[in-house]
A and B are shown apart, each in its own frame.
Chain A
Amino acid sequence: MLKSPLHVELLKLLAASMLLISFAMLSTRRIQQLITLFAWQGAILFFSTTLVAHEARLTELYFSAGLTLILKVITLPLILHILIRRLGAQWDNEPLVNIPVTMLVGLVLVIFAFGLAQPISLLATTITRHTIGIALAVILLSFLMMITRRKAVTQVIGFLAMENGLFFAATSATYGMPMVIELGIALDLLVAVFILGIFFFQIREQFDSLDLHHLESLREE
Protein backbone atom coordinates (compact mmCIF):
# COMPACT_ATOMS: atom_id res chain seq x y z
CA MET A 1 0.00 0.00 0.00
CA LEU A 2 1.31 3.41 -0.96
CA LYS A 3 1.96 5.65 1.98
CA SER A 4 3.08 9.05 0.93
CA PRO A 5 4.54 10.74 4.03
CA LEU A 6 3.05 14.10 3.11
CA HIS A 7 -0.45 12.61 2.98
CA VAL A 8 0.03 10.90 6.32
CA GLU A 9 1.15 14.19 7.84
CA LEU A 10 -1.79 15.99 6.29
CA LEU A 11 -4.18 13.38 7.62
CA LYS A 12 -2.74 13.77 11.11
CA LEU A 13 -3.16 17.51 10.80
CA LEU A 14 -6.80 17.13 9.77
CA ALA A 15 -7.44 14.74 12.63
CA ALA A 16 -5.85 17.14 15.10
CA SER A 17 -7.91 20.07 13.84
CA MET A 18 -11.03 17.92 14.16
CA LEU A 19 -10.21 17.45 17.82
CA LEU A 20 -9.55 21.17 18.19
CA ILE A 21 -12.94 21.98 16.67
CA SER A 22 -14.63 19.59 19.11
CA PHE A 23 -13.10 21.55 21.97
CA ALA A 24 -14.09 24.84 20.37
CA MET A 25 -17.66 23.52 20.20
CA LEU A 26 -17.50 22.64 23.87
CA SER A 27 -16.35 26.12 24.79
CA THR A 28 -18.56 28.30 22.63
CA ARG A 29 -21.65 29.97 24.03
CA ARG A 30 -23.41 31.14 20.88
CA ILE A 31 -25.52 28.73 18.89
CA GLN A 32 -24.70 30.30 15.54
CA GLN A 33 -21.00 29.92 16.19
CA LEU A 34 -21.69 26.32 17.15
CA ILE A 35 -23.36 25.66 13.81
CA THR A 36 -20.46 27.24 11.93
CA LEU A 37 -18.04 25.04 13.86
CA PHE A 38 -20.17 22.01 13.05
CA ALA A 39 -19.97 22.91 9.36
CA TRP A 40 -16.20 23.21 9.63
CA GLN A 41 -16.02 19.81 11.29
CA GLY A 42 -17.96 18.42 8.35
CA ALA A 43 -15.58 20.11 5.94
CA ILE A 44 -12.57 18.55 7.67
CA LEU A 45 -14.32 15.19 7.55
CA PHE A 46 -14.85 15.69 3.83
CA PHE A 47 -11.18 16.50 3.23
CA SER A 48 -9.90 13.61 5.31
CA THR A 49 -12.27 11.14 3.68
CA THR A 50 -11.24 12.32 0.23
CA LEU A 51 -7.61 11.96 1.22
CA VAL A 52 -8.15 8.45 2.51
CA ALA A 53 -10.09 7.56 -0.64
CA HIS A 54 -7.24 8.86 -2.77
CA GLU A 55 -4.62 7.05 -0.71
CA ALA A 56 -6.46 3.73 -0.49
CA ARG A 57 -7.87 3.96 -4.03
CA LEU A 58 -11.45 3.28 -3.00
CA THR A 59 -14.15 4.78 -5.19
CA GLU A 60 -16.79 4.10 -2.57
CA LEU A 61 -15.12 6.46 -0.15
CA TYR A 62 -15.31 9.28 -2.70
CA PHE A 63 -19.07 8.87 -2.66
CA SER A 64 -19.25 9.02 1.09
CA ALA A 65 -17.01 12.10 1.05
CA GLY A 66 -19.42 13.74 -1.39
CA LEU A 67 -22.31 12.72 0.83
CA THR A 68 -20.55 14.37 3.78
CA LEU A 69 -20.03 17.55 1.80
CA ILE A 70 -23.64 17.83 0.68
CA LEU A 71 -25.24 16.75 3.92
CA LYS A 72 -23.02 17.94 6.74
CA VAL A 73 -21.34 20.98 5.28
CA ILE A 74 -24.23 22.48 3.31
CA THR A 75 -27.66 21.05 4.07
CA LEU A 76 -27.70 20.46 7.82
CA PRO A 77 -26.05 23.76 8.83
CA LEU A 78 -28.46 25.56 6.49
CA ILE A 79 -31.48 23.83 8.05
CA LEU A 80 -30.17 24.57 11.53
CA HIS A 81 -29.56 28.23 10.70
CA ILE A 82 -33.10 28.59 9.38
CA LEU A 83 -34.47 26.82 12.46
CA ILE A 84 -32.53 29.13 14.76
CA ARG A 85 -33.77 32.22 12.96
CA ARG A 86 -37.37 31.03 13.03
CA LEU A 87 -37.15 30.13 16.69
CA GLY A 88 -35.32 33.36 17.58
CA ALA A 89 -32.97 31.29 19.74
CA GLN A 90 -29.62 32.86 18.85
CA TRP A 91 -28.39 32.83 22.41
CA ASP A 92 -27.48 29.85 24.47
CA ASN A 93 -27.59 30.55 28.17
CA GLU A 94 -24.96 29.34 30.55
CA PRO A 95 -24.19 25.64 30.34
CA LEU A 96 -24.84 23.41 33.35
CA VAL A 97 -21.17 23.11 34.25
CA ASN A 98 -18.93 26.15 33.78
CA ILE A 99 -16.71 26.10 30.76
CA PRO A 100 -13.20 25.65 32.21
CA VAL A 101 -14.40 22.62 34.18
CA THR A 102 -16.05 21.23 31.05
CA MET A 103 -12.78 21.67 29.18
CA LEU A 104 -10.81 19.86 31.88
CA VAL A 105 -13.31 17.00 31.88
CA GLY A 106 -12.92 16.98 28.11
CA LEU A 107 -9.18 16.68 28.50
CA VAL A 108 -9.61 13.65 30.77
CA LEU A 109 -11.95 12.15 28.18
CA VAL A 110 -9.34 12.65 25.48
CA ILE A 111 -6.70 10.89 27.57
CA PHE A 112 -9.16 8.06 28.22
CA ALA A 113 -10.00 7.78 24.51
CA PHE A 114 -6.34 7.76 23.51
CA GLY A 115 -5.58 5.04 26.04
CA LEU A 116 -8.55 3.02 24.84
CA ALA A 117 -7.54 3.34 21.21
CA GLN A 118 -3.90 2.38 21.67
CA PRO A 119 -4.38 -1.42 21.42
CA ILE A 120 -6.90 -1.05 18.58
CA SER A 121 -4.61 1.10 16.52
CA LEU A 122 -1.78 -1.38 17.03
CA LEU A 123 -3.94 -4.03 15.36
CA ALA A 124 -5.16 -1.87 12.51
CA THR A 125 -3.34 -1.77 9.18
CA THR A 126 -4.90 1.27 7.52
CA ILE A 127 -2.93 4.47 7.04
CA THR A 128 -5.36 6.22 9.33
CA ARG A 129 -4.90 3.91 12.28
CA HIS A 130 -3.38 6.58 14.48
CA THR A 131 -6.50 8.69 14.24
CA ILE A 132 -8.81 6.12 15.87
CA GLY A 133 -8.08 7.67 19.25
CA ILE A 134 -9.02 11.09 17.97
CA ALA A 135 -12.25 9.76 16.49
CA LEU A 136 -13.14 8.18 19.84
CA ALA A 137 -12.29 11.41 21.61
CA VAL A 138 -14.54 13.37 19.24
CA ILE A 139 -17.43 11.00 20.00
CA LEU A 140 -16.92 11.30 23.77
CA LEU A 141 -16.59 15.08 23.60
CA SER A 142 -19.86 15.34 21.69
CA PHE A 143 -21.45 13.20 24.41
CA LEU A 144 -20.09 15.63 26.96
CA MET A 145 -21.56 18.53 25.02
CA MET A 146 -24.98 16.88 24.98
CA ILE A 147 -24.76 16.31 28.71
CA THR A 148 -23.63 19.77 29.73
CA ARG A 149 -26.02 21.84 27.60
CA ARG A 150 -29.60 22.64 28.43
CA LYS A 151 -31.06 23.85 25.18
CA ALA A 152 -32.59 21.43 22.74
CA VAL A 153 -30.79 22.91 19.72
CA THR A 154 -27.32 22.52 21.20
CA GLN A 155 -28.10 18.95 22.16
CA VAL A 156 -29.08 18.19 18.60
CA ILE A 157 -25.84 19.73 17.34
CA GLY A 158 -24.01 17.55 19.85
CA PHE A 159 -25.79 14.53 18.43
CA LEU A 160 -24.80 15.49 14.89
CA ALA A 161 -21.19 16.07 15.97
CA MET A 162 -21.21 12.62 17.53
CA GLU A 163 -22.26 11.19 14.19
CA ASN A 164 -19.31 13.05 12.63
CA GLY A 165 -17.03 11.33 15.12
CA LEU A 166 -18.53 7.93 14.34
CA PHE A 167 -18.06 8.48 10.64
CA PHE A 168 -14.47 9.51 11.24
CA ALA A 169 -13.91 6.42 13.37
CA ALA A 170 -15.34 4.26 10.59
CA THR A 171 -13.05 5.72 7.94
CA SER A 172 -9.99 5.52 10.17
CA ALA A 173 -10.57 1.98 11.44
CA THR A 174 -11.89 0.15 8.39
CA TYR A 175 -11.94 2.58 5.44
CA GLY A 176 -15.61 3.34 5.86
CA MET A 177 -18.83 1.43 6.25
CA PRO A 178 -20.64 -0.28 3.39
CA MET A 179 -22.38 2.20 1.12
CA VAL A 180 -25.89 0.98 1.99
CA ILE A 181 -25.40 1.61 5.68
CA GLU A 182 -23.88 4.99 5.04
CA LEU A 183 -26.76 6.08 2.83
CA GLY A 184 -29.18 4.84 5.45
CA ILE A 185 -27.48 6.80 8.20
CA ALA A 186 -27.36 9.94 6.07
CA LEU A 187 -31.09 9.71 5.40
CA ASP A 188 -31.78 9.01 9.06
CA LEU A 189 -29.85 12.08 10.08
CA LEU A 190 -31.71 14.29 7.66
CA VAL A 191 -35.06 12.98 8.83
CA ALA A 192 -34.01 13.24 12.46
CA VAL A 193 -33.11 16.90 12.04
CA PHE A 194 -36.45 17.58 10.35
CA ILE A 195 -38.40 15.84 13.10
CA LEU A 196 -36.37 17.50 15.84
CA GLY A 197 -37.02 20.84 14.16
CA ILE A 198 -40.74 20.18 14.50
CA PHE A 199 -40.18 19.15 18.11
CA PHE A 200 -38.40 22.42 18.80
CA PHE A 201 -41.48 24.37 17.79
CA GLN A 202 -43.69 22.10 19.88
CA ILE A 203 -41.46 22.44 22.93
CA ARG A 204 -41.33 26.19 22.58
CA GLU A 205 -45.07 26.45 22.15
CA GLN A 206 -45.59 24.42 25.30
CA PHE A 207 -43.02 26.05 27.59
CA ASP A 208 -42.12 29.36 25.92
CA SER A 209 -38.49 28.26 25.92
CA LEU A 210 -36.22 25.61 24.50
CA ASP A 211 -34.77 24.71 27.87
CA LEU A 212 -35.17 20.98 28.23
CA HIS A 213 -35.18 21.09 31.99
CA HIS A 214 -38.85 22.07 31.83
CA LEU A 215 -39.53 18.59 30.46
CA GLU A 216 -38.44 17.06 33.76
CA SER A 217 -41.52 18.26 35.59
CA LEU A 218 -44.06 16.83 33.15
CA ARG A 219 -47.04 15.23 34.71
CA GLU A 220 -50.47 14.06 33.67
CA GLU A 221 -53.28 16.49 33.94
Chain B
Amino acid sequence: MRGIAFVWQFGEVILAVALAPLFSGWIAQCRAWMQNRTAPPLTQPYRMLHKLFYKDAALATNASRLFRTAPYVLFGTMVLAAAIIPSVVTDLPFARAADAIALIGLFATARVFQALAAMDIGTAFGTLGARREMMIGFLAEPAMLMVFFNAFLLFGSTALTTLVDNRATHPSVIDPSVIFAAIAFIMVLLAENARIPIDNPATHLELTMIHEAMVLEYSARHLALIELASSMKLFNYACIGLSLFLPWGIAIHGAHVGSVLIALAALLVKLAFCGAGIALIESVSAKLRIFRAPEFMAMAFLIAVLGLLVHLLLGANTIA
Protein backbone atom coordinates (compact mmCIF):
# COMPACT_ATOMS: atom_id res chain seq x y z
CA MET B 1 0.00 0.00 0.00
CA ARG B 2 2.81 2.39 0.87
CA GLY B 3 4.66 1.31 -2.22
CA ILE B 4 1.83 2.22 -4.52
CA ALA B 5 1.59 5.69 -2.92
CA PHE B 6 5.21 6.27 -3.87
CA VAL B 7 4.38 5.17 -7.41
CA TRP B 8 1.57 7.76 -7.53
CA GLN B 9 3.89 10.38 -6.10
CA PHE B 10 6.56 9.71 -8.68
CA GLY B 11 4.04 9.50 -11.49
CA GLU B 12 2.53 12.85 -10.59
CA VAL B 13 5.87 14.62 -10.72
CA ILE B 14 6.69 13.04 -14.08
CA LEU B 15 3.24 14.04 -15.32
CA ALA B 16 3.79 17.64 -14.25
CA VAL B 17 7.16 17.87 -16.01
CA ALA B 18 5.80 16.23 -19.14
CA LEU B 19 2.49 18.08 -19.36
CA ALA B 20 3.59 21.59 -18.40
CA PRO B 21 4.94 22.60 -21.86
CA LEU B 22 1.85 21.08 -23.46
CA PHE B 23 -0.35 23.26 -21.22
CA SER B 24 1.57 26.39 -22.23
CA GLY B 25 1.29 25.31 -25.87
CA TRP B 26 -2.44 24.80 -25.49
CA ILE B 27 -2.90 28.31 -24.07
CA ALA B 28 -0.86 29.76 -26.94
CA GLN B 29 -2.97 27.82 -29.42
CA CYS B 30 -6.25 29.00 -27.89
CA ARG B 31 -5.02 32.56 -27.94
CA ALA B 32 -4.07 32.25 -31.59
CA TRP B 33 -7.52 30.87 -32.46
CA MET B 34 -9.28 33.67 -30.63
CA GLN B 35 -7.18 36.28 -32.38
CA ASN B 36 -7.73 34.74 -35.85
CA ARG B 37 -4.09 33.84 -36.22
CA THR B 38 -2.73 30.55 -37.46
CA ALA B 39 -2.07 28.54 -34.33
CA PRO B 40 1.39 27.15 -33.63
CA PRO B 41 1.41 23.36 -33.24
CA LEU B 42 0.79 22.02 -29.75
CA THR B 43 4.28 20.58 -29.68
CA GLN B 44 5.93 23.95 -30.23
CA PRO B 45 7.19 24.32 -26.62
CA TYR B 46 8.72 20.84 -26.74
CA ARG B 47 10.51 21.65 -30.00
CA MET B 48 11.86 24.84 -28.50
CA LEU B 49 13.09 23.03 -25.40
CA HIS B 50 14.67 20.34 -27.57
CA LYS B 51 16.46 22.95 -29.64
CA LEU B 52 17.69 24.82 -26.58
CA PHE B 53 18.97 21.71 -24.84
CA TYR B 54 21.21 20.88 -27.82
CA LYS B 55 22.83 24.28 -28.10
CA ASP B 56 26.04 25.41 -26.50
CA ALA B 57 25.57 27.75 -23.58
CA ALA B 58 27.08 31.22 -23.74
CA LEU B 59 27.81 32.91 -20.45
CA ALA B 60 28.68 36.51 -19.69
CA THR B 61 32.32 36.91 -18.61
CA ASN B 62 31.37 38.24 -15.17
CA ALA B 63 28.69 35.65 -14.46
CA SER B 64 29.15 34.09 -11.06
CA ARG B 65 28.28 30.59 -9.94
CA LEU B 66 24.89 31.88 -8.78
CA PHE B 67 23.99 32.69 -12.37
CA ARG B 68 24.67 29.11 -13.43
CA THR B 69 22.95 27.40 -10.51
CA ALA B 70 19.81 29.54 -10.53
CA PRO B 71 18.09 27.65 -13.42
CA TYR B 72 18.58 24.36 -11.58
CA VAL B 73 17.22 25.82 -8.37
CA LEU B 74 14.21 27.18 -10.25
CA PHE B 75 13.52 23.86 -11.89
CA GLY B 76 14.06 21.99 -8.61
CA THR B 77 11.63 24.14 -6.64
CA MET B 78 8.97 23.74 -9.31
CA VAL B 79 9.40 19.95 -9.28
CA LEU B 80 9.12 19.99 -5.48
CA ALA B 81 6.00 22.12 -5.70
CA ALA B 82 4.51 19.69 -8.22
CA ALA B 83 5.19 16.89 -5.74
CA ILE B 84 3.16 18.62 -3.01
CA ILE B 85 0.15 19.69 -5.06
CA PRO B 86 -2.52 16.99 -5.35
CA SER B 87 -3.43 17.19 -9.00
CA VAL B 88 -4.41 13.57 -9.65
CA VAL B 89 -4.22 11.71 -6.34
CA THR B 90 -4.31 12.93 -2.74
CA ASP B 91 -2.39 9.97 -1.39
CA LEU B 92 0.98 11.69 -1.66
CA PRO B 93 3.57 10.57 0.92
CA PHE B 94 5.69 13.58 0.11
CA ALA B 95 2.95 16.08 0.87
CA ARG B 96 3.16 15.29 4.61
CA ALA B 97 6.47 17.13 4.72
CA ALA B 98 5.07 20.42 3.48
CA ASP B 99 1.74 22.20 3.64
CA ALA B 100 0.34 25.02 1.55
CA ILE B 101 2.32 27.69 3.38
CA ALA B 102 5.55 25.86 2.63
CA LEU B 103 4.37 25.77 -0.98
CA ILE B 104 4.23 29.57 -1.04
CA GLY B 105 7.71 29.54 0.48
CA LEU B 106 8.91 27.35 -2.38
CA PHE B 107 7.55 29.77 -4.96
CA ALA B 108 9.19 32.63 -3.06
CA THR B 109 12.55 30.81 -3.09
CA ALA B 110 12.33 30.40 -6.84
CA ARG B 111 11.48 34.07 -7.23
CA VAL B 112 14.39 35.23 -5.08
CA PHE B 113 16.86 33.09 -6.99
CA GLN B 114 15.56 34.30 -10.32
CA ALA B 115 15.81 37.93 -9.22
CA LEU B 116 19.33 37.44 -7.82
CA ALA B 117 20.48 35.73 -11.00
CA ALA B 118 18.99 38.54 -13.08
CA MET B 119 20.99 41.09 -11.11
CA ASP B 120 24.14 38.98 -11.13
CA ILE B 121 25.37 40.03 -14.58
CA GLY B 122 24.86 43.68 -13.80
CA THR B 123 22.98 44.67 -16.95
CA ALA B 124 20.29 47.29 -16.72
CA PHE B 125 17.51 45.08 -18.05
CA GLY B 126 18.09 42.25 -15.62
CA THR B 127 17.96 44.61 -12.66
CA LEU B 128 14.86 46.30 -13.98
CA GLY B 129 13.08 43.00 -14.46
CA ALA B 130 14.14 41.79 -11.02
CA ARG B 131 12.82 44.93 -9.38
CA ARG B 132 9.49 44.65 -11.12
CA GLU B 133 9.25 40.94 -10.34
CA MET B 134 9.92 41.55 -6.65
CA MET B 135 7.26 44.24 -6.58
CA ILE B 136 4.67 41.95 -8.17
CA GLY B 137 5.75 39.11 -5.93
CA PHE B 138 5.50 41.02 -2.70
CA LEU B 139 2.03 42.21 -3.64
CA ALA B 140 0.84 38.82 -4.87
CA GLU B 141 2.02 36.74 -1.93
CA PRO B 142 -0.34 38.14 0.72
CA ALA B 143 -3.24 37.71 -1.68
CA MET B 144 -2.23 34.11 -2.28
CA LEU B 145 -1.92 33.49 1.47
CA MET B 146 -5.38 34.94 2.02
CA VAL B 147 -6.79 32.62 -0.65
CA PHE B 148 -5.25 29.69 1.20
CA PHE B 149 -6.53 30.95 4.56
CA ASN B 150 -10.00 30.97 3.07
CA ALA B 151 -9.67 27.33 2.16
CA PHE B 152 -8.09 26.49 5.54
CA LEU B 153 -11.00 28.05 7.41
CA LEU B 154 -13.53 26.19 5.35
CA PHE B 155 -11.90 22.78 5.33
CA GLY B 156 -9.96 22.82 8.56
CA SER B 157 -6.49 21.89 7.41
CA THR B 158 -3.36 23.53 6.06
CA ALA B 159 -2.16 20.40 4.30
CA LEU B 160 -3.32 20.54 0.71
CA THR B 161 -3.95 16.82 0.46
CA THR B 162 -6.19 16.66 3.55
CA LEU B 163 -7.94 19.80 2.41
CA VAL B 164 -8.70 18.35 -1.00
CA ASP B 165 -9.80 15.08 0.59
CA ASN B 166 -12.30 16.97 2.72
CA ARG B 167 -13.42 19.08 -0.18
CA ALA B 168 -13.87 16.20 -2.60
CA THR B 169 -16.01 14.26 -0.17
CA HIS B 170 -18.35 17.26 0.35
CA PRO B 171 -18.93 18.37 -3.21
CA SER B 172 -22.24 20.18 -2.70
CA VAL B 173 -20.93 23.31 -1.04
CA ILE B 174 -21.57 26.73 -2.54
CA ASP B 175 -20.00 28.97 0.02
CA PRO B 176 -19.72 32.60 -1.09
CA SER B 177 -16.22 32.80 0.36
CA VAL B 178 -15.05 30.10 -2.05
CA ILE B 179 -16.17 32.22 -4.99
CA PHE B 180 -14.33 35.26 -3.64
CA ALA B 181 -11.23 33.15 -3.12
CA ALA B 182 -11.48 31.77 -6.66
CA ILE B 183 -11.67 35.24 -8.20
CA ALA B 184 -8.71 36.39 -6.12
CA PHE B 185 -6.80 33.26 -7.05
CA ILE B 186 -7.30 33.81 -10.78
CA MET B 187 -5.96 37.35 -10.40
CA VAL B 188 -2.92 36.08 -8.50
CA LEU B 189 -2.36 33.36 -11.10
CA LEU B 190 -2.29 35.91 -13.91
CA ALA B 191 0.08 38.21 -12.04
CA GLU B 192 2.44 35.54 -10.76
CA ASN B 193 2.85 33.83 -14.10
CA ALA B 194 3.48 37.03 -16.03
CA ARG B 195 0.27 36.72 -18.02
CA ILE B 196 -1.45 39.55 -19.77
CA PRO B 197 -2.98 42.11 -17.45
CA ILE B 198 0.41 42.42 -15.74
CA ASP B 199 2.98 41.25 -18.26
CA ASN B 200 2.90 39.90 -21.80
CA PRO B 201 4.83 36.63 -22.07
CA ALA B 202 4.96 36.83 -25.86
CA THR B 203 6.73 40.14 -26.41
CA HIS B 204 10.19 41.50 -25.88
CA LEU B 205 9.15 45.10 -25.48
CA GLU B 206 11.60 46.46 -22.99
CA LEU B 207 9.31 49.08 -21.52
CA THR B 208 6.82 46.55 -20.23
CA MET B 209 8.54 43.25 -19.78
CA ILE B 210 9.09 41.67 -16.40
CA HIS B 211 9.80 38.00 -16.72
CA GLU B 212 11.54 38.24 -20.08
CA ALA B 213 13.84 41.00 -18.83
CA MET B 214 15.17 38.69 -16.16
CA VAL B 215 16.03 35.84 -18.49
CA LEU B 216 17.50 37.88 -21.36
CA GLU B 217 21.05 36.87 -20.52
CA TYR B 218 20.37 33.16 -20.44
CA SER B 219 20.96 30.80 -23.33
CA ALA B 220 20.83 27.14 -24.28
CA ARG B 221 20.23 24.59 -21.49
CA HIS B 222 19.94 27.25 -18.81
CA LEU B 223 17.23 29.02 -20.78
CA ALA B 224 15.55 25.70 -21.51
CA LEU B 225 15.40 24.92 -17.79
CA ILE B 226 14.03 28.37 -17.01
CA GLU B 227 11.38 28.08 -19.72
CA LEU B 228 10.44 24.62 -18.47
CA ALA B 229 10.32 25.93 -14.90
CA SER B 230 8.08 28.84 -15.84
CA SER B 231 5.67 26.62 -17.74
CA MET B 232 5.70 24.29 -14.73
CA LYS B 233 4.91 27.23 -12.50
CA LEU B 234 1.83 27.99 -14.58
CA PHE B 235 0.89 24.31 -14.54
CA ASN B 236 1.35 24.17 -10.76
CA TYR B 237 -0.79 27.24 -10.22
CA ALA B 238 -3.49 25.81 -12.46
CA CYS B 239 -3.36 22.55 -10.47
CA ILE B 240 -3.59 24.40 -7.15
CA GLY B 241 -6.63 26.24 -8.44
CA LEU B 242 -8.26 23.10 -9.74
CA SER B 243 -7.65 21.14 -6.56
CA LEU B 244 -8.90 23.98 -4.33
CA PHE B 245 -11.95 25.00 -6.29
CA LEU B 246 -12.87 22.15 -8.66
CA PRO B 247 -11.59 18.98 -7.03
CA TRP B 248 -14.24 16.73 -8.56
CA GLY B 249 -12.93 13.54 -10.02
CA ILE B 250 -9.71 13.60 -8.05
CA ALA B 251 -8.65 10.22 -6.66
CA ILE B 252 -8.98 10.57 -2.90
CA HIS B 253 -7.05 8.74 -0.24
CA GLY B 254 -6.83 4.98 -0.75
CA ALA B 255 -8.11 5.01 -4.34
CA HIS B 256 -7.76 2.22 -6.90
CA VAL B 257 -6.00 2.28 -10.22
CA GLY B 258 -9.29 2.77 -12.05
CA SER B 259 -10.22 5.92 -10.16
CA VAL B 260 -6.70 7.25 -10.70
CA LEU B 261 -7.20 6.84 -14.44
CA ILE B 262 -10.53 8.66 -14.17
CA ALA B 263 -8.82 11.37 -12.16
CA LEU B 264 -6.17 11.69 -14.86
CA ALA B 265 -8.82 12.06 -17.56
CA ALA B 266 -10.69 14.59 -15.40
CA LEU B 267 -7.49 16.55 -14.88
CA LEU B 268 -6.83 16.71 -18.61
CA VAL B 269 -10.35 17.94 -19.32
CA LYS B 270 -10.19 20.50 -16.52
CA LEU B 271 -6.78 21.72 -17.69
CA ALA B 272 -8.08 22.08 -21.23
CA PHE B 273 -10.94 24.28 -20.02
CA CYS B 274 -8.67 26.17 -17.67
CA GLY B 275 -6.21 26.90 -20.49
CA ALA B 276 -8.99 28.07 -22.75
CA GLY B 277 -10.25 30.30 -19.93
CA ILE B 278 -6.82 31.86 -19.40
CA ALA B 279 -6.52 32.43 -23.15
CA LEU B 280 -9.95 34.07 -23.16
CA ILE B 281 -9.04 36.40 -20.28
CA GLU B 282 -5.82 37.32 -22.05
CA SER B 283 -7.58 37.96 -25.33
CA VAL B 284 -10.29 40.23 -23.97
CA SER B 285 -8.15 42.30 -21.60
CA ALA B 286 -5.45 44.82 -22.30
CA LYS B 287 -2.15 44.95 -20.51
CA LEU B 288 -2.17 47.29 -17.54
CA ARG B 289 0.42 49.95 -17.08
CA ILE B 290 3.04 48.74 -14.65
CA PHE B 291 1.93 51.43 -12.19
CA ARG B 292 -1.55 49.94 -12.23
CA ALA B 293 -0.23 46.54 -11.18
CA PRO B 294 -0.31 47.40 -7.44
CA GLU B 295 -3.95 48.34 -7.86
CA PHE B 296 -4.69 45.01 -9.52
CA MET B 297 -2.95 43.10 -6.75
CA ALA B 298 -4.61 45.21 -4.07
CA MET B 299 -7.92 44.18 -5.62
CA ALA B 300 -6.93 40.51 -5.44
CA PHE B 301 -5.88 40.85 -1.79
CA LEU B 302 -9.03 42.73 -0.96
CA ILE B 303 -11.31 40.18 -2.60
CA ALA B 304 -9.57 37.37 -0.72
CA VAL B 305 -9.92 39.22 2.60
CA LEU B 306 -13.55 39.96 1.82
CA GLY B 307 -14.02 36.25 1.27
CA LEU B 308 -12.63 35.60 4.75
CA LEU B 309 -14.86 38.26 6.31
CA VAL B 310 -17.94 37.03 4.49
CA HIS B 311 -17.17 33.52 5.62
CA LEU B 312 -16.87 34.65 9.24
CA LEU B 313 -20.02 36.73 9.16
CA LEU B 314 -22.38 34.63 7.09
CA GLY B 315 -22.29 31.79 9.56
CA ALA B 316 -19.38 29.41 9.45
CA ASN B 317 -20.43 26.10 7.95
CA THR B 318 -17.08 24.48 8.44
CA ILE B 319 -16.59 21.10 6.88
CA ALA B 320 -14.25 18.54 8.42
Name which residue of chain A comes closest to B177, CB basis: A16
Q: Does any Cβ of B come within 8 Å of A160's Cβ?
A: no
The interface residues of chain B lying within 8 Å CB-to-CB of A9 are: 174-175
Interface residue stretch chosen among B115-123, B217-225, B237-245, B307-315 = B307-315
The interface residues of chain B lying within 8 Å CB-to-CB of A104 are: 298, 302
Interface residue stretch chosen among A19-27, A60-68, A193-201 = A19-27
Q: Is the beta-carbon distance between B313 and A114 smaller than 8 angstroms?
A: yes
Interface residues of A in 9-23 (CB under 8 A from B): 9-10, 12-13, 15-17, 19-20, 23
Q: Is the beta-carbon distance between B180 and A103 smaller than 8 angstroms?
A: no
Q: Does any Cβ of A come within 8 Å of B105's Cβ?
A: no
Interface residues as binary, B154-192 with A (CB distance below 8 Å gives 1, 0 otherwise): 000000000000000000001111011001000000000
The interface residues of chain A lying within 8 Å CB-to-CB of B179 are: 13, 16-17
What's the least CB distance linking A166 to chain B, in Å?
A: 19
Name which residue of chain A comes closest to B297, CB basis: A100
Q: Does any Cβ of A come within 8 Å of B303's Cβ?
A: yes
Residues of chain B having any CB pair with chain A under 8 Å: 174-177, 179-180, 183, 294-295, 298-299, 302-303, 305-306, 309-310, 312-315
The interface residues of chain A lying within 8 Å CB-to-CB of B302 are: 23, 103-104, 106-107
Using A15-B314, A107-B305, A130-B313 as known contacts, list a sample of 12 further A-B pairs with CB atoms less than 8 Å apart, ordered by residue number in A.
Answer: A16-B180, A16-B306, A19-B310, A20-B180, A20-B306, A27-B295, A99-B295, A100-B298, A103-B299, A104-B302, A114-B309, A118-B313
Q: A107-B306, A110-B309, A130-B314 are in contact. Are A16 and B298 (CB under 8 A)?
A: no
What's the least CB distance linking B119 to chain A, in Å?
A: 27
Q: Does any Cβ of B come within 8 Å of A111's Cβ?
A: yes
The interface residues of chain B lying within 8 Å CB-to-CB of A10 are: 174
Bound Cα distance A158, B310 (Å)? 23
What's the least CB distance linking B130 to chain A, in Å?
A: 23
Q: Does any Cβ of B come within 8 Å of A162's Cβ?
A: no
Bound Cα distance A103, B176 (Å)? 20
The 3 A-B pairs at the shortest CB distance, nearest first, are namely: A16-B176, A100-B298, A12-B314
What's the least CB distance linking A34 to chain B, in Å?
A: 16
Q: Is the beta-carbon distance between A131 and B306 smaller than 8 angstroms?
A: no
Q: Is the beta-carbon distance between B306 and A23 smaller than 8 angstroms?
A: yes
Residue from the list A13, A19, A27 in contact with B306, Cβ < 8 A: A19
The interface residues of chain B lying within 8 Å CB-to-CB of A77 are: none
Kindly name the residue among B175, B177, B310 whose own CB sees the greatest number of chain A CB atoms within 10 A: B310
Name which residue of chain B comes closest to A118, CB basis: B313
Interface residues on A, range: 20 to 34
The interface residues of chain A lying within 8 Å CB-to-CB of B315 are: 12, 130
The interface residues of chain B lying within 8 Å CB-to-CB of A176 are: none
Name which residue of chain B comes closest to A131, CB basis: B314
What's the least CB distance linking B160 to chain A, in Å?
A: 25
What's the least CB distance linking B250 to chain A, in Å?
A: 23
Interface residues of A in 105-138 (CB under 8 A from B): 106-107, 110-111, 114, 117-118, 130-131, 133-134
The interface residues of chain B lying within 8 Å CB-to-CB of A15 are: 176, 314
Bound Cα distance A16, B307 (Å)? 8
Bound Cα distance A195, B44 (Å)? 62
Q: What are 8 A-B contacts with C-beta separation under 8 Å?
A: A12-B310, A13-B174, A100-B294, A100-B298, A110-B306, A111-B309, A130-B315, A133-B313
Q: A103-B299, A130-B315 are in contact. Are A16 and B310 (CB under 8 A)?
A: yes
Interface residues of A in 82-106 (CB under 8 A from B): 99-100, 103-104, 106
Q: Is the beta-carbon distance between A16 and B314 smaller than 8 angstroms?
A: yes
What's the least CB distance linking B253 to chain A, in Å?
A: 27
The interface residues of chain B lying within 8 Å CB-to-CB of A20 are: 180, 183, 303, 306
Name which residue of chain A comes closest to B294, CB basis: A100
Name which residue of chain A comes closest to B174, CB basis: A9
What's the least CB distance linking B138 to chain A, in Å?
A: 14
Bound Cα distance A27, B288 (Å)? 15
Bound Cα distance A100, B312 (Å)? 24
Bound Cα distance A118, B176 (Å)? 18
Bound Cα distance A10, B314 (Å)? 12
Bound Cα distance A20, B299 (Å)? 11
The interface residues of chain A lying within 8 Å CB-to-CB of B177 are: 16
Bound Cα distance A164, B314 (Å)? 20
The interface residues of chain A lying within 8 Å CB-to-CB of B314 are: 12, 15-16, 130-131, 134
Name which residue of chain B comes closest to A121, CB basis: B313
Bound Cα distance A9, B175 (Å)? 7
The interface residues of chain B lying within 8 Å CB-to-CB of A114 are: 309, 312-313
Q: Is the beta-carbon distance between B298 and A134 smaller than 8 angstroms?
A: no
What's the least CB distance linking B140 to chain A, in Å?
A: 14
Bound Cα distance A106, B305 (Å)? 12
Kindly name the residue among B312, B313, B315 whose own CB sees the greatest number of chain A CB atoms within 10 A: B313
What's the least CB distance linking B123 to chain A, in Å?
A: 32
The interface residues of chain A lying within 8 Å CB-to-CB of B310 are: 12, 16, 19, 134
Q: Is the beta-carbon distance between A103 and B298 smaller than 8 angstroms?
A: yes
Bound Cα distance A26, B174 (Å)? 26
